[in-house]
Amino acid sequence: RYDYVEQLVSPELAWEWLRRNEAYQRDYADVVATAGVAQPLNEAAQQRWVFDFPVRPSLDAKKAELFWIPKEDTGVVILIATPAVLSSDVGVLPTEVASVERVDEHGHHFHHPLANGQHLTLLRLADVPSDQSLVAVVPLDLDGFGRIEAVTRLLSALHGRSVPPDTRLTRQQLQRARRMLQAVDGHMSGASHRDIAEVLFGARRLADEPWKTSSHRFAVMNLIKGGLAMISGDYRRLLSHRRRR
């Protein structure tokens, strides 16, 4: 059931935490009741969840169509019209490959598929035609390094090269995230810490230590604590690349 977690990239894992947030679930129900899923969240909700468009909480990350606020998600490639000082016959995106698209006052948000089965989120700013040659925006702050990584991935896909990985999550972080999700789901379903530990570590391993002082008991408690913090808002940290110094 949780095998897919270890294949997720940062924006997808962030969604796994957000969709478990009860306040988000209520906001989603309110928005869908009044505006529908294709309409952007209101500004207050966008700032609260750093999310642009509502997504049904029952959808896991592989089925959800996710659009995080570009300011927060450093993996979003922001596109503008090519300035006159550069050649105007390069950088036109093949628009027919865009798999999912949403529109708001900032422009056209869409998913650009990659050869490795993943996708990049792109934002073509408002008033830039789809057939216009484009350049990517890279801010000159520390987040620029993350933007450069995203642009490199897009360029590799466009020019038939091997697409480098999204480096925001390590294999070890994904493995821990899987256990955190399992522990939190068990906790939210009313399972005891010992029941959760048996699922995560196996009953035989638990028999090696008294439960009250067991390292597995404290491991479960830490996993639940970390998972609840992610649900409460720490998921936002997953959207940014680690800052270089």
pTM: 0.91
Q: Is 234 helix (H, G, I), strand (E, B) or coil?
A: helix
For residues 77 and 122, the answer to whether their CB atoms sit within 8 Å is yes
pLDDT at 98: 57
Mean pLDDT of all residues belonging to the chain: 90
In this structure, the chain runs to a length of 245
Q: How confident is the model at residue 41 (pLDDT cuts 50, 70, 90)?
A: confident
pLDDT tens-digit series, residues 67-108: 999 999 999 999 999 888 887 666 666 654 556 788 888 999
pLDDT tens-digit series, residues 166-185: 999 999 999 999 999 999 99
Give the C-alpha separation, 35 to 223, whole Å.
37
| Closest to 53 measured CA to CA, from 71, 14, 74, 27 | 27
pLDDT, average across residues 109-125: 89
Position 220 pLDDT exceeds 90? yes
pLDDT, average across residues 110-125: 89
Tokens of residue 17, six digits? 């935490």
For residue 136, the surrounding DSSP H or E stretch is strand 134-136
